[in-house]
Amino acid sequence: MERRDKNNYYLDIAETVLERGTCLRRNYGSIIVKNDEIISTGYTGAPRGRKNCIDLGFCIREELNVPRGTHYELCRSVHSEANAIISASRRDMIGATLYLVGRDAKTRELVSDANSCAMCKRLIINSGILRVIIRDTKDSYRVMEVSYWIENDDSLKEEFGY
């Protein structure tokens, strides 16, 4: 029997975490790991005490045909990365790795081009997390160095055309 590599092991756990997600479009699971210890987990869902989209039976972004990756301010959910960061101490996140897995809520297929949104990237940068590992398929993934997000500030390109 072949042993599962560590990155896929943690991605498998993040994929289990996303099962708690309550979004009608896409659910994500995140775990933050440091020194082979899981620091925190997070999934996509409405803030505590508010109704989730699955409880309401509709998604306002879907009803308005909002394209993926835009107008997150209309979304009821807190992203999985943000929920994982909220649940952890910054001193525990400095130098850590965040593992991210996304799944389409309707097709149940993995989101092959998953990535953190601009706001989650900012949170990840400030948290002290060093890298984000994103699942593409059951066995393949991408490693994103957070330093790349800092050096290649996409917020300037998107907002100001630099």
- Residue 46 per-residue DSSP state: P
pLDDT in tens, the chain (162 residues): 899 999 999 999 999 999 999 999 999 999 999 999 999 999 999 999 999 999 999 998 889 999 887 888 888 899 999 999 999 999 999 999 999 999 999 999 999 889 999 999 999 999 999 999 999 999 999 999 999 999 988 777 655 554
CB 81 within 8 A of CB 30: yes
Give the pLDDT of residue 103. 97
Query: What is the distance between the alpha carbons of residues 22 and 120, in angstroms, rounded to a whole number?
Result: 18
Give the pLDDT of residue 69. 77
What's the whole-model pTM score?
0.92
| Two tokens, residue 37 | 């210890």
Give the pLDDT of residue 157. 64
Query: Which residue in 120, 127, 130 sits closest to 154, CA to CA?
Result: 120
Query: What is the distance between the alpha carbons of residues 30 and 79, in angstroms, rounded to a whole number?
Result: 9
Strands 97-104 and 131-135: parallel
Residue 38, amino acid? I
Distances in Å between the Cα of 147 and the Cα atoms of 22, 73, 95, 113, 120 are 31, 26, 12, 20, 14
CB 33 within 8 A of CB 96: yes
Query: What is the distance between the alpha carbons of residues 135 and 7, in angstroms, rounded to a whole number?
Result: 9
Residue 135 exposed, middle or buried by CB count within 10 Å (0-12, 13-18, 19+): buried
